[in-house]
Amino acid sequence: MRVVYLPAPVEIEMDQDRQDEIVKRIAEDRCIRGCERPVHCRGLCKECDSQFRSVRQSKKTEKERAAFERSAIEAGMVLAPNEQRRLRPTTNPFANVGSEVPDHVA
Ligand SMILES: [Zn+2]
In this prediction, residue 50 has a pLDDT band, given cuts at 50, 70 and 90, of very high
d(Cα 62, Cα 55) in Å, to the nearest integer?
13
- Whether 55 maps to a domain, the answer reads yes
Contacts for 7 with CB less than 8 Å, ≥ 6 apart: 81
In this prediction, residue 92 has a pLDDT band, given cuts at 50, 70 and 90, of confident
Distance 87 CA to ligand 1 centre (A): 17
Q: Which helix (H) or strand (E) holds 48?
A: helix 46-58
pTM of structure: 0.74
- Whether 35 maps to a domain, the answer reads yes
d(Cα 73, Cα 10) in Å, to the nearest integer?
11
In this prediction, residue 7 has a pLDDT band, given cuts at 50, 70 and 90, of low
How does DSSP classify residue 41? B
- Whether 11 maps to a domain, the answer reads no
Distance 46 CA to ligand 1 centre (A): 7
Distance 36 CA to ligand 1 centre (A): 7
3-class secondary structure, 93: coil
Distance 61 CA to ligand 1 centre (A): 26
- Whether 94 maps to a domain, the answer reads no
- Whether 2 maps to a domain, the answer reads no
Give the total number of structural domains in the chain: 1
> Range of 44's domain?
16-85
Distance 2 CA to ligand 1 centre (A): 37
